[in-house]
Amino acid sequence: MTLILSNDDIEQVLEMNELVPVLEEAYIELVEGRGGNRRRSDIVTPTTLRDDGLYALKSMDGVIPKLGVGAVRLNSDILTFPTTGNEMRRVKVPAAPNNRYVGLVLLFSTHNGEPLMICPDGVMQRMRVGATNGIAAKYMAREDADTLAVLGSGWQAGAQVLAHAAVRDLKDVRVYSPNPDNRRAFAAEMSEALDLDVRTCETGEEACKGAQMISCATNAVMPVFFHDWLEPGMHIGTVRPGATEVEKAAWSDIELFALLDHDDNAEMIYTHGVLVGEDKVGSYGVEQDDWHNGLPSLPQIINGDREGRINDEQCSCFLNNLGMGYQFAATGYVVYNKAKELGLGTELPTDMFTETVHP
């Protein structure tokens, strides 16, 4: 049988504390060449729905033989780009029947190829982004970091808090987002989840002051963390493609940068001209004559192939800039096994998604 799960099912079974170690192990498989990732692709076209919208078909794949699974994650989106004040955001329109979004994960067995599970991507998406930033903080933030500032109070922000709590013993958590009601509701929710008094702040600067870990968790296309806010030893995590969240002026004072995927270096070079000389991105050891090594990836730091933080004064930044299908394989593995154990979801005949003809 092929298991069909809803986001509600997935929320019941997907625990940050269980996802973090599995995803960490998966990253080691990847960097050591035993796992495979196919980079995200996007086809963007007009849509007949509205003139200011676009249709986008996005997909990404990954296979983790050690966990026995492969995954395809795909999104069929109507995109718009509204502006609020100075900020342009990318907003998906829930245009499918019953005002819903379209994002799917298909999980397959590497043992016999069978489709194990089909489910929406939303909860898994949030948790794998959060878990990845948590793992980045584990390896890149100061050992004694116990203060977290969260910029943003939306869907991604909660997973960021849980993930940082999974890797560090948090004593002080602050949240800033432009809407006071949103940040208050978020602080209340997180206070309960962490059993800790999560503070709201009136500015991003106030939230970041004295924080050892900063999590940028907005969908802003413009910077949300600024050069002036940088303090020695800070670790900053981001969740947006294009490395837009941290003001560029701050980059030269950040000594340790890491990307999610080593291949993202090409994009960073094209977009930002980084890696070509110390003056542009600080002294993290990449010289012009070996710039092809590029920024380290998080998996390389986990694995010890590249150096992580070397002292408590370094500023560090993790650019969680492009999702991997691979992450959905790891997350799907956790979800599938737990859901089977608990008997959650709807089972459909596997024959519905397989065939007798040699394709």
**Interface residues for a second copy in 34-63 (CB under 8 A)?**
34-38, 41, 43-49, 55, 57, 59, 61-63
Q: Which is nearer to a second copy, 127 or 275 (CB)?
A: 127
When binding is defined by CB under 8 A, the residue of 22, 87, 89, 104 that contacts a second copy is 104
Which 8-state DSSP code applies to residue 359? -
343: Cβ contacts below 8 Å, ≥ 6 apart: none
CA distance 105 to 116: 11
- φ, ψ of residue 337 in degrees (nearest 5): -65, -40
4 counts as binding a second copy under rule CB under 8 A: yes
| Residue from 23, 26, 75, 281 in contact with a second copy (CB under 8 A) | 75
Question: CB of 297 within 8 A of CB of 28?
Answer: no
Q: Report the Cα 7 to chain-centroid distance in Å.
A: 18
Single residue of 3, 120, 137, 245 touching a second copy by CB under 8 A:
120
**What is residue 350's three-state secondary structure?**
helix
Question: Which amino acid, residue 307?
Answer: E
Q: Which stretch binds a second copy (CB under 8 A): 102-110, 176-184, 223-231, 281-289?
A: 102-110
Question: Would you call 266 exposed, middle or buried from its count of C-beta atoms within 10 A (0-12, 13-18, 19+)?
Answer: exposed
Q: How far is CA 179 from CA 65, 97, 186, 206, in A?
A: 44, 30, 11, 15
**Do residues 103 and 125 make contact, with C-beta atoms less than 8 angstroms apart?**
yes
**Using CB under 8 A, which residues numbered 340 to 359 contact a second copy?**
346, 348, 350-359
Contact positions with a second copy (CB under 8 A) in 146-205 = 155
Considering the complex, state which of residue 12 and residue 293 has its C-beta at the smaller distance from a second copy. Answer: 12
**Helix (H) or strand (E) run with residue 72 in it:** strand 69-80
Is 68 a residue that touches a second copy (CB under 8 A)? yes
Which residue's CB is nearer to a second copy, number 44 or number 88?
Answer: 44
Alpha carbons within 13 A on the beta-carbon side of 98: 1
User: Could you tell me which stretch among 89-97, 208-216, 253-261, 292-300 binds a second copy (CB under 8 A)?
Assistant: 89-97
Would you say 68 or 285 has its CB closer to a second copy? Answer: 68
Instruction: Among 16, 67, 108, 321, indicate the residue that binds a second copy (CB under 8 A).
Output: 108
Q: Of 70 and 233, which has the nearer Cβ to a second copy?
A: 70
Contact between 241 and a second copy (CB under 8 A)?
no
